[in-house]
Amino acid sequence: MTRPDTLRIALAQINPVVGDIAGNLEKARAARATAAAGRADVVMFSELFLSAYPPEDLVLKPAFQDACRAACEAIAADTADGGPAVLIGLPWLQDDKLYNGYALCDNGRIETVRFKVDLPNYGVFDEKRVFTPGPHPGPIVLRGVRIGVPICEDIWGPDPVECIAETGGEILLVPNGSPFRRRIMDQRFNVAVARVTESGLPLVYLNQMGGQDELVFDGASFVLNADGSLAVQLPAFRDAIEIVEFSRVGGAWRCAEGPKARVEEGDEADYLACVLGLRDYVGKTGFPGVVLGLSGGIDSALVAAIAVDALGAERVHCVMLPYRYTSQDSLNDAKACADKLGVRYDIVPIAEPVEGFMHALAPMFAGKAADITEENLQSRARGTILMAISNKFGAMVVTTGNKSEMSVGYATLYGDMNGGFNPIKDLYKTQVFRISHFRNSVVPEGCLGPSGEVIPERIITKPPTAELRENQKDQDSLPPYEILDDILESLVEGEMRVGDVIARGHEAATVKRIEHLLAIAEYKRRQAAPGVKLSRRNFGRDRRYPIINKFRDRA
Q: What is the pLDDT of residues 26-83, one digit of tens each?
A: 999 999 999 999 999 999 999 999 999 999 999 999 999 999 999 999 999 999 999 9
DSSP count for the chain of H helices, then E strands: 17, 19
pLDDT digits (tens, 9 = 90+) for 258-272: 999 999 999 999 999
Question: Is 400 annotated as ligand-binding?
Answer: yes
Grade residue 554 by pLDDT with cuts at 50, 70 and 90: confident
Tell me the average pLDDT across 115-133: 89
Q: Is there a catalytic annotation at residue 337?
A: no
Would you say 112 is a known binding-site residue? no
CA separation for the pair 440, 460 (Å, rounded): 11
Q: How far is 26 from 478, CA to CA, in rounded Å?
A: 52
Q: What pLDDT, in 10s, does the model give residues 264-294?
A: 999 999 999 999 999 999 999 999 999 999 9
- Which tens digit of pLDDT belongs to each residue from 474-514? 666 788 999 999 999 999 999 999 999 999 999 999 999 99
**Is 294 marked within a binding site?**
yes
205 annotated among ligand-binding-site residues: no
Percent of the chain with pLDDT over 90: 86
Q: Which of 72, 152, 163, 274 is catalytic?
A: 152
Q: From the candidates 27, 116, 340, 425, which is the catalytic residue?
A: 116
Quick one: the chain helix, strand, coil %, rounded to 5?
A: 40, 20, 40
Question: For the purposes of burial, counting CB atoms within 10 Å of the CB of 451, is it exposed (0-12), middle (13-18) or buried (19 or more)?
Answer: exposed
Q: Is 116 a catalytic residue?
A: yes
pLDDT in tens, 167-218: 999 999 999 999 999 999 999 999 999 999 999 999 999 999 999 999 999 9
Residue tagged active-site, from 27, 47, 268, 512: 47
- Between CA 75 and CA 93 the distance in angstroms is 18
Please give the model's pTM, rounded to 2 decimal places: 0.93
Residue 203: strand pairing partners: 172, 224
Tell me if 376 is assigned to a ligand binding site. yes
Residues 391-434: pLDDT tens digits? 999 999 999 999 999 999 988 989 889 999 999 999 999 999 99
Predicted confidence band of residue 471 (pLDDT cuts 50, 70, 90)? low
What is the 3-class SS of 6-68, one letter each residue? EEEEEEEECCCCCCCHHHHHHHHHHHHHHHHHCCCCEEECCCCCCCCCCCHHHHHCHHHHHHH
Q: How far apart, in whole angstroms, are the C-alpha atoms of residue 539 and residue 196?
A: 35
Residues 47 and 151 sit within 8 Å (Cβ to Cβ): yes
| Mean pLDDT score across all residues of the chain | 93
Other C-beta atoms within 10 Å of 312: how many?
15
CA geometry: angle at 55 spanning 50 and 61, to 5°? 90
Residue 108: per-residue pLDDT: 96
User: Is 295 within any annotated ligand binding site?
Assistant: yes
DSSP secondary-structure letter at 106?
Answer: E
Residue 132 main-chain phi, psi, to 5 deg: -100, 135
Query: Is 451 annotated among the ligand-binding residues?
Result: no
Is 405 known as a binding-site position?
A: yes
298 in a labelled binding site: yes
Q: How confident is the model at residue 124 (pLDDT cuts 50, 70, 90)?
A: confident
> Does 299 count as an annotated binding residue?
yes
